[in-house]
A = this chain, B = another copy of it.
Amino acid sequence: MVAEQLDAPNPETLVAEAKAAFRDGAMLTVQARCEVAYEGRTSGHLGPGDRILVAKPDGTFLVHQPTGHKPVNWMPGGGSVSARTSDGDAVLLARRTNPSERVEARILDAYGLTRFDATDGATYEESGTEAEMHEYIEANPDALEEGLRVVEHERESKYGFIDFFARDGNGTPVVVEVKRIQATLNHFDQLQRYVSLYREENDEVRGMLVAPDASERVRRALRDNGLEFVALSEFDTDAKGAMEAKLTDF
């Protein structure tokens, strides 16, 4: 029996079932009308309403309202979830230390409960990430500029980590910052921070922001500060084209 369901459990039954699930390392899902309180990095309260509660064996706890991608309240893994009755209600409490915080859900009316003894050994395989873009650039520096040589990847500097430290055909140093998505002003800031370091000592250094696109404002900021924008969409396109072929049509 991998999953076990209870219909409209009373508080005592819910607490007993929850304790058993936590003890056995099972996932717990509860559909209920509840109130939620959070106390930790900030504090907050959510009045009564219908939500889905999920508790995982690693201490993860999620409160999902009927809309929205993000849980309205949550606890990341690493802590623990416990159950008890209080004033006649079942209460689920998730807590952790460092930072010290807690989420408490008071269950006013439980509509359904599912215990799920899940086993999952698979890991998510992803492609199209910035890490892959880095690999592509390392293997094809000419895609950025003819004659460019990568000297160092993820170079540590006084002001942070530089994606690529390179030299152009003339031997001039080039600081390269890579973004997988359309470049923003913050990305310009980041490149500017790295380049300012080298300009203090070597007047000749180039700064290059590499991304599939950039707004006019970002391009101007780069231009005004003697930095360059390089549109690199080949990687993007290649990756997408290859992947879409794999998907069966619906």
Contact = CB atoms under 8 A, between A and B. Distances in A.
Interface of A: 2-5, 7-8, 27, 29, 31, 37-39, 41-52, 54, 56-58, 60, 62, 64-69, 72-77, 84, 93, 95, 102, 104, 111-112, 114, 116, 118-129, 158-160, 181, 185-186, 188-190, 192-193, 217, 220-221, 239-240, 243-244, 246-247, 250
Given A46-B124, A52-B116, 15 more contacts: A4-B112, A29-B31, A31-B116, A31-B118, A43-B247, A49-B120, A49-B122, A56-B64, A56-B68, A60-B67, A65-B118, A66-B118, A112-B114, A158-B220, A188-B193
Contacts of A158: 217, 220
Nearest to A161: B185
B5 A27 contact: no
A120 B247 CA distance: 37
A247 B39 contact: yes
Contact of A66 (B29, B39, B57, B159): B57
Number of chain copies forming the complex: 2
A66 B119 contact: yes
A67 B73 contact: no
A124 B73 contact: yes
A229 to B, nearest CB: 15
A219 to B, nearest CB: 12
Given A5-B5, A68-B58, A46 B122 contact: yes
A222 to B, nearest CB: 11
A51 B120 contact: yes
Contacts of A188: 193
A37 to B, nearest CB: 7
Contact of A221 (B44, B159, B217): B159
Nearest to A45: B125
